Structure 1
Amino acid sequence: MSDADRLNELLGLPAVDFQRDAEGAGRPAADAAAWRVSVDPYGSDEDGTWEEEFAAFLEAVDPSRVEALIIGQWGESYEENSSYPIGVVVAAAGRLTSLKAVFVGDLVQEEAEISWIEQSDVTALLTAFPALTHLGVRGGTDLEFPPVKHGALRELTIESGGLPAVALRGVLDSELPALEHLDLWLGVSAYGGDAVVPDLAPLLSGSRFPRLHHLGLRNSELQNEIAAAVGSAPVVAQLRTLDLSNGTLGDEGAAALLEGQPLTHLTSLDLHHHFLTEPMERRVREALEPHGVSVDLSDRCEPWDDQGPEGRYTAVAE
């Protein structure tokens, strides 16, 4: 799960773990950090609940100046879903008056596999915080994203080993006129990723999010089909950066991408974790790098015998 590491920053602010016993003078200013609030479910009874930890955070750090919040481990995440910490944060909306960014589920493999993280309706945060500009989510299990209208959200990231089609459709049916950066890890069907390429049609048409300039459609077992669809998608003309990494992309998908519309207006194309041959890698570089496009073709993978008919696998699944 190397591509789902613990966050080290959010909103351009360094991630800092809130610690109750830290001296006040030793803490950063409230608006100088992305505050991660977590509890260890295997710690001592004195450690308390996530709600208690968050209450202590609100007392120790001026909540009216907090701009970025990271929801870390809130307990046994495969037993209690994210509606618990989200509800606690929403209840404090009147005190968190400067909040601009929230990331839900900053757990790493040692705490929970990505598909063990039980999510919920994360749009409750958008409803409670109309000025929120950044929302990130890790984990697709039981994720809900009913269509929502939000005028300020600029960046949305959903990291999953399997993104439910109903959640994907909810994102794409939402009214997010300020959205500039969309990063979706689609995952695999074995872990709930039941979306198919036609589900992406509203996004690929280019009419859904007029200000979008970064698109990530990543970590998919359908990466070749996605690359082919992106190659002819109107949305590409408005992009500056495109990320199709972490999936099962092979020569056929890369060829379809290159044979579609020009990509030379991009500043970067990320294809890392791929199954391209060396000749296709050269073809991609020769087509784009002379035009100033930064191409990431790192982490060429070898097929595994036990991974389906082609032996290809995504970077993140369970």
Structure 2
Amino acid sequence: MFIDGNEMYVDNDEYDRYLDALYPGKRAADPRDPGERFLHEDGFYRWDRMGGHRETYAGLPVAGFRMLTGRDTVPDPSCFAWPLHGGEMYEEADGPGFTEGLEKLLTVVDGSGIQAIVVAGISARDAPAVLVANAHRLPRLRSLFLGFVEPDYQISWIQQGDITPILEAFPLLERLDVRGSEGLRLRPVRHASLKVLRFETGGLPGEVVRALGRCDLPALEHLELWLGVTEYGGGATVNDLEGVLSGAGLPALRRLGLRDSEIQDEVAAAVAAAPVVARLEALSLAMGELSDAGAEALLSGQPLTHLRHLDLHHHFLSEEMAKRIRRVLPDVELDLSEPQAHLRTWRYVAVAE
């Protein structure tokens, strides 16, 4: 039995039923995996009463605390995404903390079989250096999430560092997810295996976007950028996106998300003439401040009828424009949910702070 406020609950299941009834449709994680589809920002994660994850990453269940303690049998390392802690969930972690956390993990799990790691806590700044130093102990690592905390928990507080060494030290890495952008750095790099690259931020620095545009990523299929707002470090301009939109270093790209932007109209206008669009299957300009002006520019540019999916959810389009998009793209799967124009007199992105 435990207490939450003035209420008492017999066990976790009873509390779950209470929360599910209180927040219908808001707690269950979306069964689809980011990296295969563009999902709504509130559909990724589910938490229990103690803040523990109950979800999957890269198609694997995230191992909980009980998987790491008090077990008589050694779990199969390939069957889970393993959490790397450098301290408490909401405390900053440093290099020694992550070193200790990795050693604890590797005493329970055979590192040679680990395929996915999620770096938990609001600071992932020093995690890349620790992982790079131990790359020889993690030869099968294919998926890595830096900043694995709830998106609504002040995404702007999450500390990151230079992620370039990760791409240099793990040539077989196929997926990299980064949440938060404080201190985030990237240098142009070539990586032959990476298929999914996602940046979830309330503000993605322009220098990171420019470096990304100069990267050579021949296997990349899914690229997702939450561009954010200037107030939280989102200094990227349309010019910074030139390398990405050219598609020069992204020959295999099939899904492109330029999301959560305060300059979404300008981004839409640039996308309308971008060479990379012709070979996309899915495009997301969701979560931002897209208005009729941006939609008009998008529809006036190159044809989009080849797309299988166009995601514009959380938008500021008029009903007339939404109808026009449906009329022009009758065979494209459209997401025009979460219209905001009738709710606010000012525009805002879905995720900033």
User: TM-score scaled to structure 1, two decimals?
Assistant: 0.87
Match in the other structure for 1:297: 336
The 2-side partners of 1:279 and 1:304 are apart by: 16
Which one of the candidate residues 249, 253, 277 is aligned to 1:236? 277
The alignment of Structure 1 onto Structure 2 pairs a total of residues equal to 300
Change (3 A) 1:283 1:42: closer
CA-CA distance at 1:9 after TM superposition: 2.5
The 2-side partners of 1:302 and 1:170 are apart by: 34
Match in the other structure for 1:92: 134
Match in the other structure for 2:229: 188
Q: Secondary structure of 1:105's partner?
A: strand
Match in the other structure for 1:34: 81
The 1-side partners of 2:195 and 2:89 are apart by: 33
The 1-side partners of 2:234 and 2:166 are apart by: 23
Write the deviation string for residues 206-257 of structure 1: whole angstroms up to 9, x where unpaired: 3231111110000000001111111121111010010111000111111211
Deviates more, 1:123-132 or 1:215-224: 123-132
Match in the other structure for 2:294: 253
Match in the other structure for 2:215: 174
User: TM-score scaled to structure 2, two decimals?
Assistant: 0.79
Match in the other structure for 1:272: 313
Change (3 A) 1:123 1:279: same
CA-CA distance at 1:50 after TM superposition: 4.1
Write the deviation string for residues 114-168 of structure 1: whole angstroms up to 9, x where unpaired: 1111111011111111111111100111110011121111111011101111111
Which one of the candidate residues 83, 91, 99 is aligned to 1:51? 99
Change (3 A) 1:23 1:157: same
Contact 2:179–2:199 (8 Å) recurs in 1: yes
The 2-side partners of 1:283 and 1:238 are apart by: 23
**Which residues of structure 2 form unaligned runs of 5+?**
1-40, 47-52
Match in the other structure for 2:42: 2
**Residue 162 in structure 1 maps to residue 203 in structure 2:** yes
Write the deviation string for residues 160-194 of structure 1: whole angstroms up to 9, x where unpaired: 10111111111111111111111001110111111
Match in the other structure for 2:109: 61
The 2-side partners of 1:163 and 1:277 are apart by: 28
Match in the other structure for 1:317: 352
Change (3 A) 1:32 1:232: same
Change (3 A) 1:61 1:92: same
Deviates more, 1:279-288 or 1:127-136: 279-288
Q: Secondary structure of 2:150's partner?
A: coil
Which one of the candidate residues 198, 207, 229 is aligned to 2:248? 207
Q: Which has the higher contact order (CA 8 A, sep 6+)?
A: 1
Contact 2:89–2:120 (8 Å) recurs in 1: no
**Residue 108 in structure 1 maps to residue 150 in structure 2:** yes
CA-CA distance at 1:106 after TM superposition: 0.8
Match in the other structure for 1:15: 62
**Which residues of structure 1 form unaligned runs of 5+?**
none
Match in the other structure for 2:16: none
The 2-side partners of 1:4 and 1:192 are apart by: 23
Contact 2:142–2:173 (8 Å) recurs in 1: yes
The 2-side partners of 1:298 and 1:206 are apart by: 29
Change (3 A) 1:42 1:208: closer
Aligned residue type for 2:114 = V
Write the deviation string for residues 76-108 of structure 1: whole angstroms up to 9, x where unpaired: x4xxx5332222222221111100110100112
Q: Secondary structure of 1:236's partner?
A: helix
Contact 1:274–1:300 (8 Å) recurs in 2: yes
The 2-side partners of 1:260 and 1:72 are apart by: 42
Q: Secondary structure of 2:267's partner?
A: helix
Q: Secondary structure of 2:227's partner?
A: strand
Change (3 A) 1:275 1:103: same
The sequence identity of aligned pairs, in percent, is: 45
Q: Secondary structure of 1:285's partner?
A: helix
CA-CA distance at 1:49 after TM superposition: 4.2
CA-CA distance at 1:5 after TM superposition: 4.3
Match in the other structure for 1:71: 119
